[in-house]
C-alpha cells in the first residue's frame, strides 16, 4: 500500500494530460484539425511521461522507450483513422 | 508446445515470455499495428461501403431545425429560397465532382460563385458545410457548437436559406454532404459581405458583389452520384467497429497482463502497465464517443 501511495505523484501529471486531452478533444469536436492535434499531443505526452518516469526511476532502456512509442503510435493512429 | 501452453505464452506473463505476454511485446504489437492499418484501408474502400450513405437527412428538416434555433434566440425565421437550394446543390455536386472538402474549390471557385450562378443577387451571403452526419439534428447541433457556424445560423442579416444534401464518393470515401446557404437579396446597395464559416471561428471571407452576371458553373456529377432527400440504408461504420475491436482487445490483454503480474507479485522491467492501460482506456473512450460528422 505504501508503494502505491509513493507512486501517486508520478501519475498525477499523466492523469492531468489525459483529462486535459479528453476535454480538448470533446470541447473542440467541431474542429477536426484541432482534434487531430490534440490526439497527437496526447500520444507524444504519453511517450514523454514514460521517458521522464523511467529516467527518474533509473530503469530507462531502449526497449522501454520503444514500447511507449509503439503503443502511443497504435492508439493515436486508431483514433485518427476513425474520426 | 501444446495449444494451451502456446496460448498462455501468448496471453499470460510467465518465465517463457520474460514475464510479458507475447502479444504485448514490441514485434507482435508492430505486426498487429500493420495488420490494423491495412485492414482499415480495406474497410474504407468504396466497395466495402456500398451502404455507406448515412442520411436520414432532409433539407426541409435542416431548415426547420435552423429556424428553431433562431426562434430560441429571438430571431425571425429564414425562408427557404429555391435559388439558394439550387446553389447549395451545385456547391455539393461541385465538391464531389472535383473531390474537395472546403469553402473554396481547388480551382479558385468561391462560395459566392454558386449564388451568382443561379442568379441570386445577394446583399449578404453565408455558407455552412457538414459531412457524414447520420441525421439533421446532429449536424445542426455541431454547427451550433462552433462559434463561426453559429454566427451564420443566428445572424439577423440573413433572410433566406437554401439547403442541399448530396451523397457521393469524395476522394474514394462515401460522403453525405450538407450545404447550408444563407442570403439576403440585394436591395440597392452594391456592398456585399459574405461569410463562409471558418473552422476555427476566426476567419471571415469578405467580398464585394459584382454587378455583372457571373458565369454559370459547369457541373459534372459522377454517374454514381445520388441525391438523398429521403431515408437511405443505415450506415455501418466498419472503420470504427474495427478500431474498437482492436483497441478493446489490446486493452483487455494489458489488463490481464497487469493482473497476473500483480497477483504473482512479479516485478518486471519495461513500460508501466498502469500507464498503458490508462492510455488505451482513453483511446477507447475517444473512439467510442467521437462524433463522426465534420463541419466546415
Determine the straight-line distance between the first and last CA of chain A, rounded to whole angstroms.
40
Q: State the pLDDT at residue B291.
A: 63
Do the chains contact at B33 and A73, CB–CB below 8 Å? yes
Mean pLDDT of chain A: 90
Confidence of residue B80 (pLDDT cuts 50, 70, 90): very high
* Pick among A34, A82, A83 to test the B interface (most B CBs inside 10 A): A82
Task: Give A38's strand partners.
Answer: none
Nearest chain A residue to B141, by CA: A30
Percentage of chain B with pLDDT > 70? 76
Q: Extract the C-alpha cell encoding A45.
A: 505526452
- The answer to whether the complex's ipTM is over 0.90 is yes
Is the overall model pTM greater than 0.90, yes or no?
Answer: no
Q: State the pLDDT at residue A1.
A: 65
Q: Extract the C-alpha cell encoding B32.
A: 498487429
The answer to whether A69 faces chain B, any CB pair under 8 Å, is no
pLDDT tens for each residue of B171-205: 777 788 999 999 998 865 554 545 555 543 332 33
Least Cα distance to B180 among B263, B277, B77, B92 occurs for B92
Is the pLDDT at B54 greater than 70, yes or no? no
Q: State the pLDDT at residue B230.
A: 35
Least Cα distance to B179 among B216, B237, B228 occurs for B228
* Chain A environment of B278 (Cβ under 8 Å): 14-15, 18
Q: Which residue has the cell 490494423?
A: B36
Region for residue A55 given its phi and psi (left: phi exceeds 0; alpha: psi -120 to 50; beta: otherwise): alpha
* Chain A environment of B200 (Cβ under 8 Å): 31, 33-34
pLDDT tens for each residue of A11-48: 999 999 999 999 999 888 767 788 899 999 999 999 99
Q: Which residue has the cell 473542440?
A: A28
The answer to whether A38 faces chain B, any CB pair under 8 Å, is no
Q: Extract the C-alpha cell encoding A30.
A: 467541431
Q: State the pLDDT at residue B206.
A: 30
Task: List the single residue in B37, B250, B294 with the smallest CB-CB distance to A77.
Answer: B37
Confidence of residue B3 (pLDDT cuts 50, 70, 90): confident
Do the chains contact at A50 and B275, CB–CB below 8 Å? yes
pLDDT tens for each residue of B23-48: 899 999 999 999 999 998 887 655 44
Do the chains contact at B295 and A14, CB–CB below 8 Å? no
Q: State the pLDDT at residue A14.
A: 94
Q: State the pLDDT at residue B213.
A: 34
Percentage helix, strand, coil, to 5, in chain A?
Answer: 85, 0, 15
| Separation between Cα atoms, residue A32 and residue B237, nearest integer Å | 18
**What does the DSSP 8-state code read for residue B50?**
T
* Chain A environment of B36 (Cβ under 8 Å): 74, 77-78
Please tell me the least confidently modeled range out of B3-7, B155-159, B215-219.
B215-219
* Chain A environment of B31 (Cβ under 8 Å): none
Amino acid at each position: 500500500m505504501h508503494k502505491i501511495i509513493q507512486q501517486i505523484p508520478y501519475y498525477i501529471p499523466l492523469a492531468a494530460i489525459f483529462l486535459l486531452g479528453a476535454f480538448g478533444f470533446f470541447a473542440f469536436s467541431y474542429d477536426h484539425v484541432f482534434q487531430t492535434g490534440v490526439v497527437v499531443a496526447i500520444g507524444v505526452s504519453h511517450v514523454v511521461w514514460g521517458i521522464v518516469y523511467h529516467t527518474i526511476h533509473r530503469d530507462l532502456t531502449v526497449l522501454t522507450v520503444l514500447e511507449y512509442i509503439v503503443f502511443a503510435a497504435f492508439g493515436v493512429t486508431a483514433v485518427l483513422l476513425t474520426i | 508446445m501444446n495449444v494451451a501452453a502456446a496460448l498462455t505464452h501468448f496471453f499470460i506473463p510467465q518465465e517463457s515470455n520474460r514475464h510479458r505476454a507475447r502479444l504485448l511485446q514490441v514485434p507482435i504489437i508492430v505486426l498487429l499495428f500493420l495488420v490494423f492499418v491495412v485492414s482499415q484501408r480495406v474497410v474504407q474502400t468504396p466497395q466495402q461501403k456500398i451502404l455507406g450513405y448515412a442520411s436520414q437527412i432532409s433539407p426541409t428538416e435542416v431548415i426547420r431545425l435552423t429556424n428553431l434555433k433562431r426562434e430560441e434566440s429571438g430571431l425571425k425565421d429564414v425562408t427557404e429560397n429555391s435559388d439558394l437550394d439550387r446553389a447549395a446543390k451545385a456547391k455539393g455536386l461541385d465538391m464531389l465532382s472535383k473531390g474537395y472538402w472546403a469553402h473554396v474549390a481547388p480551382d479558385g471557385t468561391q462560395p459566392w460563385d454558386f449564388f451568382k450562378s443561379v442568379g441570386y443577387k445577394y446583399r449578404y451571403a453565408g455558407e455552412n458545410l457538414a459531412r457524414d452526419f447520420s441525421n439533421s439534428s446532429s449536424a445542426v447541433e455541431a454547427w451550433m457548437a462552433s462559434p463561426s457556424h453559429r454566427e451564420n445560423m443566428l445572424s439577423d442579416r440573413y433572410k433566406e436559406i437554401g439547403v442541399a444534401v448530396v451523397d457521393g464518393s469524395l476522394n474514394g470515401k462515401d460522403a453525405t454532404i450538407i450545404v447550408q446557404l444563407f442570403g439576403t437579396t440585394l436591395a440597392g446597395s452594391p456592398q456585399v459581405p459574405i461569410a463562409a464559416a471558418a473552422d476555427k471561428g476566426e476567419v471571415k471571407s469578405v467580398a464585394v458583389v459584382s454587378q455583372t452576371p457571373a458565369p454559370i458553373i459547369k457541373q459534372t456529377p459522377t454517374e454514381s452520384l445520388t441525391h438523398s432527400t429521403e431515408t437511405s440504408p443505415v450506415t455501418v461504420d466498419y472503420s470504427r467497429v474495427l478500431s474498437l475491436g482492436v483497441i478493446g482487445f489490446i486493452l483487455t490483454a494489458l489488463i490481464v497482463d497487469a493482473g497476473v503480474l500483480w497477483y504473482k507479485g512479479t516485478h518486471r522491467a519495461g513500460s508501466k502497465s498502469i500507464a498503458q492501460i490508462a492510455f488505451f482506456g482513453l483511446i477507447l473512450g475517444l473512439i467510442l464517443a467521437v462524433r463522426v460528422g465534420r463541419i466546415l
